[in-house]
Amino acid sequence: MQKQKLLLFGLLLFFAAPVAVYGQGKGLLRAVIVFGDSIVDAGNNNHLKTIIKCDFPPYGRDFNDKMPTGRFSNGKIINDILASVAGITDSIMAYLDPNLEDRDLLNGVTFASGGAGLDDLTSNVAKVVSLSGQVELFKEYKARLRRVAGEKKANDIITNAQYLLVMGSNDIWSSYFALGLRSKEYDIDSYTTFLVDKAAEFAKKIYDLGARRIGISGLPAIGCVPFVRSMAGGITRQCSDPHNEASEMFNSKLQKKIEPLTNSLDGALLMYLDVYNPLMDMIQNKEKYGFEEATLGCCGSGNVEVLFLCNNLSPLTCQDSKKYVFWDSFHPTEKAYRLLLNQTMGAFLPLLQ
């Protein structure tokens, strides 16, 4: 009970710290700045020479104007939902979007790139923006923000923004298991340690660049994602235990890293964000959340359709994505994202409305 009280207090402190009043938001947050992979990519990959793209239908069919934006879902993703709940803006734009205007910089941006990993090797193989590359874009963003808002206002926005890091799944399922790029030099224990250290290094880097409120997401139950079920779950498409065990190992190490890391960064508010358990609960108890399907994606057959395999010619695509936990064979639906945000960050959401 005492541990639960401390966790709740930490959540409230993390998200209720005083912030400067800028932008149009009426809540406590004034900007959302995001680093990561396809879960939080709002279209950066549209402007890269990579096959990891989704700027075509039926992606985005439930988004504004029902147009594909490069978000790997049917509608809004975590960044958009958080910013909307906080009263900041309806959606957070991709930093590489040529339509990004000066005023959009005040709300925050996402540097995330689908296919990226904490391990730069993962990103390089996918030909997307690595985590270190995203940090470089953040430096560029800071300079642009100063030109737009002035030194004082820009510094306040940078200091008081909410930062999110959502990354690591591609390292586990692709670089370690599917492609085996890292399994030759690491066992899963040493590789998850390597990845957690990369996450900690990232937090220190953006702290040095002005970030103070930093949320670091754990990994989901990778073994229960439809694609992984199809590839590694046998004829009955069960969840893959090795993938899930790797996620749990990473998450356990990351949680243990957060407290000493926070103590080493004066004035920082770091928080581990659990996505494993909430998403697993949706999968195992789908009816509780109003879902009808949790083992297949809405797009196509739901077994393997993702990226270019999920397109307007894909047969069997569902009519109502709200009945599905997953949109394609990797990524959740907007409804699942909303539920995930509520369960992961539910302690502070009422404060922002």
Which residues belong to the active site? 38, 328, 331
DSSP classification of residue 110? B
Q: Which string of DSSP letters, residue by residue, matches 19-63?
A: ----SS--SS---EEEEESTTS-SSGGGGSSSS----STTTTTTS
Angstrom distance (rounded) from CA 329 to CA 81: 22
Q: Hey, what are 123's tokens?
A: 């990103």
Residues in the chain: 353
Closest listed residue to residue 37, CA positions, set 246, 265, 195, 271:
195
Q: CA 55, CA 307: separation in Å to the nearest integer?
A: 9
Tell how far CA 269 is from the center of its chain: 19
Give, for 250, the enclosing helix (H) or strand (E).
helix 241-264
Contact 348, 336 (CB under 8 A): no
Q: Following DSSP, what letter does each residue of 207-219 receive, concatenated? A: HHTT--EEEEE--
